[in-house]
Amino acid sequence: MNKWLIGLILAAQLVGCGAESDQENTPPRQYTKQELYPDRHYVTENNWYEMVDSEKNHFTDGKERSQIQPFPKYYIYRAKEWPREDLNDASSYDLPRVQFYWANMGDKQDPMYTAYEGQTKIWSMKTDGTDLRLVLDNMDADGYGKMVRSPDNRYLAYGNGREKRVYDLKTGETYSLAENYGVPRFVWTEDSKTLYFTDTKDLIYKWDIETKQVVSSDIKMTDTNVFFSGYRYVVAATGLIKFSPFSNDVVARASWRKRGELDAEDAISIDRSISPTGKYAWGLSKKYVFKVDMEKETVHMIKSGMMPYILGLNGRFGGSKHMTTFAVRDYQTDKEWEWRPLGMNRTIEHNSLYNAFANNGLWFKEAQS
């Protein structure tokens, strides 16, 4: 065989062996978590959300209210990596928001579980389920009672076990108001400068954000109150009362317990809600649901139906009590959305509404006034 041809064949074989050797030594491609799990939307390395359709509910009156659409479902394995609520981020405040207690991990057998991840924290999200934010994570006990945000969104009054506290989102400081007394009940004045709270069922105090001093007060309040337009509105056991702002002078009253109409047991509310202006309120007794229109001073008694534990501007939108399953009702269009925003663990503590005037009080951007 021609020497030149033999040399060409040997050279080709050597090149081929080199290519095979290079392939053997090339490390396998490393896929990102996003590539491995395309249905997940990773926010940080260890935290993500999935878009999951809302659930169909069956209503006792036979009406079809359920709206089926995707909502975020959050999985938080490392809370410190998750974005915190930032007062300077205007994009977080274009809708009303809901705040709630949640320990983001509960399974102690999970290899990623730590005591910190299993600790109760306070979170918030927009009323359409988006923009979950961590509010605070320095709690040393379970959340308790209804937390209340100041009208300027800066201060959060909440229950840390039996202790009443205020958290300043701007400075990160936490203030202790009282310890080892009763269910937390809070209400902020319109200017966000004074917080009224209960020490026990009968003792009322106020806390000033400038002096940080707690002094006694004699105004009447419950766990459901609001200051608005120069008046104080209080949802009491059997109705809504409109007071002069800093006294107990009654301006108007709308009661669902009329003389001889309802027994006390059927009339006394065990849960209550109020709209941000005090115009509307709801009450739930063991037997009935009551809806109040303070402007008309009327009460409508409902034998069954969804009681909105959080109530939006003008009473149009209402939400359920807990975030494990969150239900939102549009009372104007008679539509409802129900979804499970928390992918891990659950919470059965009260949620609360704030930033209520954003988007003209509408809980979804696509909603029509």
pLDDT for 8 equals 41
Alpha helices by DSSP H, listed for 40-177, are none
> What was the pLDDT predicted at 22?
52
Which backbone phi and psi does 36 adopt, to 5 degrees? -70, -35
pLDDT at 179: 80
**Angle at CA of residue 367, ends 364 and 369, nearest 5°:** 125
Q: Tens digit of pLDDT for each residue in 153-182?
A: 999 999 988 889 999 999 999 999 988 667
Look at residues 149, 151, 172 and name the one whose alpha carbon lies nearest to residue 86.
172
**What are the pLDDT digits (tens) for 346-361?**
898 899 999 999 999 9
At 304 the pLDDT is 65
Q: Which residues contact 45 (CB under 8 A, 6 or more apart)?
A: 33, 78, 81
pLDDT at 29: 79
Question: Domain segments of the chain: what residues?
Answer: 44-94+101-137+341-364
| Rounded Cα gap, residues 77 and 116, in angstroms | 10
Three-state DSSP state, 266:
helix
Tokens of 114: 């730590």
* Tokens (6 digits) for 13: 């074989």
Residue-wise over 198-211: b if at least 16 C-beta within 10 A, else e? bbeeeebbbbebee
Distance of CA 268 to the CA centre of its chain: 27
Q: What is the pLDDT of residue 201?
A: 66
* 50 Cβ contact list (under 8 Å, min separation 6): 39, 40, 41, 72, 73, 75, 343
pTM score above 0.85? yes
CA distances from 142 to 79, 161, 343, 348 (A): 17, 5, 20, 11
Residues of the chain with pLDDT under 70: 1-24, 180-181, 201, 259-260, 304
Query: Residue for token digits 């491995």?
Result: 36
Q: Strand, helix or coil at 313?
A: helix
Tokens of 299: 């009460």
